Amino acid sequence: MSQASCPSCAAPVKFRGASSVVAVCAYCQSTLLRDGARLEDIGKQSELLEDASLLQLGAEGRHRGVHFGVIGRIQYRYGAGVWSEWYLLFDDRRDGWLSDANGNYVITYLRPPPEVPAYESLKIGDKLTFQKQQFEVTNLEQATVVAGEGELPFKFGSGWEAPVADLRGEHGRFATLDYSETPVRLYVGEQLPFDTFGFSGLRDPKSGGKSTAKARAFRCVGCGAPLEKKLASTEAVGCGSCGTIMDVTSEDIQILSAATQHEREVTPRFALGSRAVLQGAAHEVVGYMRRAMTADGINYEWGEYLLHNHEKGYLWISEYQGHYNLIRTAANTPRQKPSLGPQQLSYLGRTFKHFQTCVATVTYVAGEFNWRVKLGDEVNVHDYVSPPLMLSCERTDSELSWSLGEYTEPEVLWRAFRLKGAPPPKVGIAANQPSPYEGRPGRYWRWYAVALALALLVQIGFSLSVDSRPLAELRGAAARGRPFESTTPPFAITGTRPRPVGMSIKTDVDNSWIAVNAVLTNTQTGDAFIVGREIGYYSGWDGGESWSEGDRAALVRFPQVPPGTYTLTVDIEAAPDAQRQFTAAVRVYRSPPRWLNLVLLLSLLLIPPVWVTIRAAGYETKRWAESDHAPETDDDE
Amino acid sequence: MHRLYILTALLSLGAFTYGQYQGVSLFDSEEGVQKGRTSSLSSRHK
């Protein structure tokens, strides 16, 4: 560290970073350029604008295990607001930058200058590769330096313009291309949650100081109603009384949109200024806006609440027909997945399907916003769903941002805001509303598969346990007027309980019929099972085509035949007009278990899975009927 | 609800197993089959 005296006010000025070129005197705001051992005063810095950042010079933190201190800062203004780049000095002598924009923290390091397209040729959505990682251009801004403080590694001044391109990659990777110098400066790093830095020495947002977020009262330029700017990061305030939207970034309040919006009464359900603990942190409702889109000639309008927490940043609640989402900026860029149907994205290990694309237009604004919102502002919105989550891509010519919404039951919000009464009834099915049938068809089908396997096991087990060899067999021939009758020697049907016994009758009857009577007689009890079958089979040619009717065989099943000793008696009679003798063979055997029982069981057990699957599909059909991928257009009847 | 289904499936499987063990079938038809005593049989065949 080197120390010198400010040439302007003689206050001590320290240079801790070896790369630090400029230091801003903390006492007189002179910008001091280091030139060897000499300090040159290159002019006074402007005042920094108030912001809601918790960081300040002297704060400390860690990134990937290495401790750093915050030694400088440059504050930039861009089209929609301001952000700060905090200059970091690490214990291992590296330096880096921590960007703090509306509670999103991105840490980056200067990398060797890359071959990049000219700034003018860059477009939102362009893909660039640095250090073997792909990035997508998400923001193109002509940033202007507002002011700086502390020590910094390059010469700068208020009003200095920097064309900047922000790029995002997978897994929170982030890159910035600073075109203000040649060669272009590339910074590569990652976006991380606030908590991961283990900050100390942070500014107390409630304490005094230059960048304190203290409420500022003023009167509406349109109607004179008293208004308040509570957050330092607020860029625009919409008057809830008359609808005038004002730029409040300076003392000289400018009108962004005139009071043309409030021809109707709009009462936000979550009042401006009300507080709720959401996602583990206390948030305050600071703004409410309504946006609208038109699809198939129908205007759809929804509400969006902007909430703020000093550590977590901004949170949105969207509200549409009784459905609510909690929405935050997505840190990562989703990855596109190959798909034959609607476009699919991969994010957080889930697959999101494209739901709809629309142009959302701001139709109502009340309260504070961290960008200069105006009535009529338009943005292209692409929604992708993976219930209960929804990824939304909002795109303008200069910015592409991703946000992640989570469907939230209204009762949760009503409890969090301590609202009285019941939430409004839900209308229809929201794009990312979790299905009450989610996972149910799968569960039912899995259990059906288990039942199917077990039933098959039982069936096959019983079938294999049956000895299907014939117990008795009788074969005889009968001709016209010459019947056949015979009885087998006694044979045993073993076992301990009545069992099904089968009897097959096979004949060679042709263009005639024979009557077969068979009797299975228990020789011990005299009980008999008697069956008579007339078996006929006819065939021939008619008009050049062959025909046949009847059957040459028959099967009989005696369901409950007690064990014992039996004889089989068979009586065969030929038809009175039979032209020749016909043979019949009667065979008795143990009947295996019938498959019909299995079919019946599996058919009955099939009903619940099929029913649940139909219901689940019906739910999804209703959901997707509102999307760009509705299977068919609903005609008004 | 799927627990009710599991219970139903298990009970049905039990009934099915018992039915197969007993050799009964809901669709067993004894059409054309008579039960009797040998005396009636002999009279029929006389």
A417-461 confidence digits (pLDDT tens): 999 999 999 999 999 999 999 889 999 999 999 999 999 999 999
Residues of A in contact with B30 (CB under 8 A): 558-559
A158 and A222 assigned to the same domain:
no
Rounded average pLDDT over A163-182: 89
d(CA A40, CA A22): 9
Q: How far is B4 from chain A (nearest CA, A)?
A: 10
CA-wise closest residue to A184 among A116, A95, A109: A116
Question: Does the CB of A498 have a partner CB in chain B at under 8 Å?
Answer: yes
The answer to whether residue A626 is domain-embedded is no
Residue A524 sits in a domain whose CATH number is 2.60.120
A189 and A245 assigned to the same domain:
no
Q: Which residues numbered 67-96 in A keep a CB inside 8 Å of some CB on B?
A: none
Residue in A closest to B37 by C-alpha: A527
Q: A505-522, pLDDT tens digit by residue?
A: 999 999 999 999 999 999
The total of other beta-carbon atoms located within 10 Å of residue A327's CB is 22
Domain's final residue, options A168, A197, A226: A197
E strands in A389-511:
389-395, 400-408, 470-478, 484-487, 491-493, 499-507
A245 and A189 assigned to the same domain:
no
A264 and A370 assigned to the same domain:
yes
Taking an 8 Å cut-off on Cβ atoms, the answer to whether B38 and A458 are in contact is no
Among B19, B22, B38, select the one facing A521 at the smallest CB separation.
B38
Residue A34 vs residue A218, higher pLDDT: A218
Residue A211 vs residue A162, higher pLDDT: A162
| pLDDT for the residue numbered A356 | 93
Percent of chain A with pLDDT over 70: 96
Q: Assign A632 a pLDDT band (cuts: 50, 70, 90).
A: low
A301 and A360 assigned to the same domain:
yes
The answer to whether residue A183 is domain-embedded is yes
A409 and A535 assigned to the same domain:
no
The answer to whether residue A431 is domain-embedded is no
Residues of B in contact with A526 (CB under 8 A): 37-39
Single-letter amino acid, residue B27 = F
A38 and A148 assigned to the same domain:
yes
A293 and A181 assigned to the same domain:
no
- Longest C-alpha distance within chain B, in Å? 64
Q: Looking at this predicted complex, what is its ipTM?
A: 0.76
Query: Which DSSP letter does residue A195 get?
Result: G
Q: A91-138, pLDDT tens digit by residue?
A: 998 999 999 877 778 999 999 877 888 999 999 989 998 888 889 998
| pLDDT for the residue numbered A209 | 38
Q: Which 3 state secondary structure label does DSSP give A278?
A: strand
The answer to whether residue A69 is domain-embedded is yes
A85 neighbors A74 (Cβ within 8 angstroms): yes
| pLDDT for the residue numbered B42 | 41
| pLDDT for the residue numbered B32 | 57
**pLDDT at residue A407 tops 70:** yes
Rounded average pLDDT over A317-330: 94
Rounded average pLDDT over A281-291: 94
Question: Does the CB of A521 have a partner CB in chain B at under 8 Å?
Answer: yes
Q: Assign A348 a pLDDT band (cuts: 50, 70, 90).
A: confident
Residue in B closest to A501 by C-alpha: B23
Q: Which residue has the tokens 């780049």?
A: A85
A478 and A515 assigned to the same domain:
yes
Rounded average pLDDT over B10-39: 74
The answer to whether residue A104 is domain-embedded is yes
| pLDDT for the residue numbered B40 | 41
Helices and strands (H, E) in chain B, number of each type: 2, 1
Rounded average pLDDT over A145-166: 85
A178 neighbors A160 (Cβ within 8 angstroms): no
**Angle CA A45–A51–A56, to nearest 5:** 70
Question: Does the CB of A453 have a partner CB in chain B at under 8 Å?
Answer: no
Q: Which of A163-172, A213-222, A239-248, A580-589 has the highest mean pLDDT?
A: A580-589
The answer to whether residue A16 is domain-embedded is yes
Taking an 8 Å cut-off on Cβ atoms, the answer to whether B41 and A519 are in contact is yes
Q: Which 3 state secondary structure label does DSSP give A136?
A: strand
Q: Which residue has the tokens 């969207």?
A: A318
Domain's final residue, options A350, A382, A416: A416
The answer to whether residue A304 is domain-embedded is yes
**pLDDT at residue A207 tops 60:** no
Rounded average pLDDT over B10-24: 87
Q: Assign A633 a pLDDT band (cuts: 50, 70, 90).
A: low
| pLDDT for the residue numbered B30 | 57
pLDDT averaged over every residue in chain A: 88
Q: Which residues numbered 3-42 in B keep a CB inside 8 Å of some CB on A?
A: 5-6, 8-9, 12-13, 16-17, 19-28, 30, 32-41
A505 and A555 assigned to the same domain:
yes
d(CA A246, CA A223): 12
d(CA A571, CA A594): 28
Q: Assign A213 a pLDDT band (cuts: 50, 70, 90).
A: very low
| pLDDT for the residue numbered A403 | 94
Tokens of A103: 């509670």
Rounded average pLDDT over A390-409: 92
Residues with Cβ within 8 Å of A379's Cβ and at least 6 positions away in sequence, in order, are A359, A360, A394, A395, A396
The total of other beta-carbon atoms located within 10 Å of residue A352's CB is 23
Residue A500 vs residue A632, higher pLDDT: A500
Residues of B in contact with A527 (CB under 8 A): 35-37
Domain's final residue, options A386, A401, A416: A416
A382 neighbors A628 (Cβ within 8 angstroms): no
Per the structure, the count of domains in chain A is 3
The answer to whether residue A475 is domain-embedded is yes
Taking an 8 Å cut-off on Cβ atoms, the answer to whether A530 and B36 are in contact is yes
Q: Assign A210 a pLDDT band (cuts: 50, 70, 90).
A: very low
Residues of A in contact with B39 (CB under 8 A): 526
Q: Which of A109-123, A489-503, A577-591, B32-46 has the lowest mean pLDDT?
A: B32-46
Q: A610-622, pLDDT tens digit by residue?
A: 999 999 999 999 9
Residue-range definition of the domain harbouring residue A385:
216-416
Percent of chain A with pLDDT over 90: 54
Among A497, A560, A593, select the one facing B20 at the smallest CB separation.
A593
A255 and A389 assigned to the same domain:
yes
**pLDDT at residue A545 tops 70:** yes
Q: Assign B45 a pLDDT band (cuts: 50, 70, 90).
A: very low
Taking an 8 Å cut-off on Cβ atoms, the answer to whether A529 and B41 are in contact is no
| pLDDT for the residue numbered B38 | 54
Tokens of A11: 């206050």
Q: Assign A581 a pLDDT band (cuts: 50, 70, 90).
A: very high
d(CA A346, CA A480): 83
A106 and A142 assigned to the same domain:
yes
Q: Assign A238 a pLDDT band (cuts: 50, 70, 90).
A: confident
